[in-house]
A = this chain, B = another copy of it.
Amino acid sequence: MEDNKTIIIYDSTLRDGAQAGGISYTLEDKLKIVERLDKFGVKFIEAGNPGSNIKDQEFFARVKKMKLKNATLIAFGSTRRVGIDVKDDPNIQSLIAADTEAVAIFGKSWDFHVKEVLKTTEDENLQMIYDTIKYLKSLGKYVVFDAEHFFDGYKNNRKYALETLKVAKEAGADSLDLCDTNGGTFPMDIYNITKEVVEMFPGTLIGIHCHNDTGMAVANSIMAVLAGARQVQGTINGYGERCGNADLITLIPNLQLKLGFKCVPDENIKHLTSLSRYVAEIANMIPNERAPYVGAYAFTHKAGMHIDAVKKNPASFEHINPEIVGNTRRIVLSEVAGRATILDKIREIDPTVTKDSPVTKEIIDELKRLENEGYQFESAEASFEMLIRKKLGLYQPFFTLKEFKVLINEPAVEYSSSAIVKIAVDGVTAITAAEGDGPVHALDSALRKALEKFYPELKEVHLVDYKVRVLNAETATAAKVRVLIESTDGKDTWTTVGVSTDIVNASWIALVDSLEYKLCKEKVGK
């Protein structure tokens, strides 16, 4: 065990995280995440369960060839089965075949599980823990013991739960990790029980593994650390079984920035936001905009009074400086935002503009006019940036629309919709057609097909979200709609907006803005 302010970060994104609903990693995905986690500086990467999953066996064969700088890989498995010799257990053999320096073994600490699930005796369960760890230690492995359902077990039969830890320790376990497997334990209980265990095993590394079923996985992990646990298990973005695991993206800055513990190298804390978004991208999950520290809204100010105060001093409504974790402050552009906020945005693009420049008033007037029409730039900063660029003369159209037509048929013939788009770029006309599920899909496909001839960089762009909101709903299908389109090129993510009484037209406006924003970005970048 290192000094008392060091926390060993134990990542299970690729094991418990892969048990999350809606997540399914390919082998390549897993390798990419290992590389990134290693670079970020976590100590352990629990990367799969080779006994239960053939894909994981292939993965361990491949990952062996990677050179890791910081992290140690962990293969995860269960204690031996009831009533057999540990050497004859095929899952244990798969675990050994994974050929990692370290392994994690989970065993039952809740007597209820021993009876109801394993359907064996309490003594046999203790023997299973002992045999498995002893055997793996004899092969020279570093062994983590995951005491499954430890807290539920403690509450039901304290003596037996503690006995499972003693047996694991006797067999040579390198750490004893207390798991709140069902996620139902409360912070004070986590603190008191962990403290008792820490005092019972002086000098032994105690770990904590929390689930979020009562919304307290992060706080529970913190309480365990305050009670003396020095190994923290969790996953990136909290992905995991049911409501997920303790979110390392929140826990690491909580521990390192707020409590002064050392989890990863200080210089890597600024990569938290990009790490979170990278894993979300690979997992194909929509990033949580409200995520602590790294969410798009985490340092977004909307209420007029908050905006006013943050300008006077950011600490007034920010618990940390967003740049420390690689995030940025956002002042949203809403009815309540006022002139000063808008000026700040303009000056991000052209610092020479002042509040008295005529263009400032022009932009504010245009913003007001558009907001009255139903536009909302709060979550569509890319469209607002395009508006500013247009007013500053920093924009020229990348193409001209000549015409489009969309035809929808019911009954459908293969696809319900087909679109024809005719555009011109520098006097060269292109006409393309495409089909799609619905008019917007058909139109999007036809437009890209036309534009990619002229701008191949648009191939990188794809849409990640598409939202529609009816504005004056009283008139229902003849009402105005606002469409928000979120796009990414793999590096950045941006949102654009379109408003119209016609959903296809509103989508078209947002779509064009999105593609032009990308082209602008490329041009300015060069």
Q: A1 contacts which chain B residues (CB < 8 A)?
A: none
Interface string of A185-223 (1 = CB under 8 A from B): 011100000000000000000000000111110111011
A502 near B378: Cβ-Cβ < 8 Å: no
Interface string of A257-275 (1 = CB under 8 A from B): 0110000000000000000
CB of A301, distance to nearest CB on chain B (Å) = 8
A229 at the interface (CB under 8 A from B): no
**Bound-complex Cα distance A417 to B504 (A):** 10
**Bound-complex Cα distance A100 to B486 (A):** 41
**Bound-complex Cα distance A215 to B418 (A):** 46
A360 at the interface (CB under 8 A from B): no
B437 near A286: Cβ-Cβ < 8 Å: no
Interface residue count for A (Cβ, 8 Å)?
124
B404 near A243: Cβ-Cβ < 8 Å: no
A182 at the interface (CB under 8 A from B): yes
B441 near A298: Cβ-Cβ < 8 Å: no
Of the listed stretches A5-13, A122-130, A287-295, A339-347, chain B binds: A287-295
Of the listed stretches A33-41, A449-457, A475-483, chain B binds: A475-483
Known interface pairs A213-B319, A292-B212, A466-B479; A187-B187 also in contact (CB < 8 Å): yes
A116 near B313: Cβ-Cβ < 8 Å: yes
**Bound-complex Cα distance A286 to B188 (A):** 33
Q: A251 contacts which chain B residues (CB < 8 A)?
A: 215
A254 near B214: Cβ-Cβ < 8 Å: yes
**Bound-complex Cα distance A251 to B409 (A):** 49
Of the listed stretches A20-28, A60-68, A139-147, A382-390, chain B binds: A20-28
Q: A313 contacts which chain B residues (CB < 8 A)?
A: 112, 116-117
CB of A7, distance to nearest CB on chain B (Å) = 15
A470 at the interface (CB under 8 A from B): yes
Q: A476 contacts which chain B residues (CB < 8 A)?
A: 444, 462-466, 485
B187 near A222: Cβ-Cβ < 8 Å: yes
Q: A292 contacts which chain B residues (CB < 8 A)?
A: 183, 212-215, 243
Q: A183 contacts which chain B residues (CB < 8 A)?
A: 292, 319
CB under 8 Å from chain B, chain A span 414-465: 416-417, 436-441, 444, 462-465
**Interface residues, chain A, with chain B CB atoms under 8 Å away:** 19-22, 24, 26, 28, 52-53, 78, 112-113, 116-117, 181-184, 186-188, 212-216, 218-220, 222-223, 226, 238, 241-244, 247, 250-251, 254, 258-259, 284, 286, 288-293, 295-306, 308-309, 312-313, 315-320, 332, 336, 376, 378-379, 401, 403-412, 416-417, 436-441, 444, 462-470, 473-474, 476-479, 481, 485-486, 500-505, 507-508
Q: Considering the complex of A and B, which 6 residue pairs feature the smallest CB-CB distances, nearest first?
A: A463-B476, A184-B319, A219-B219, A438-B502, A437-B501, A468-B468
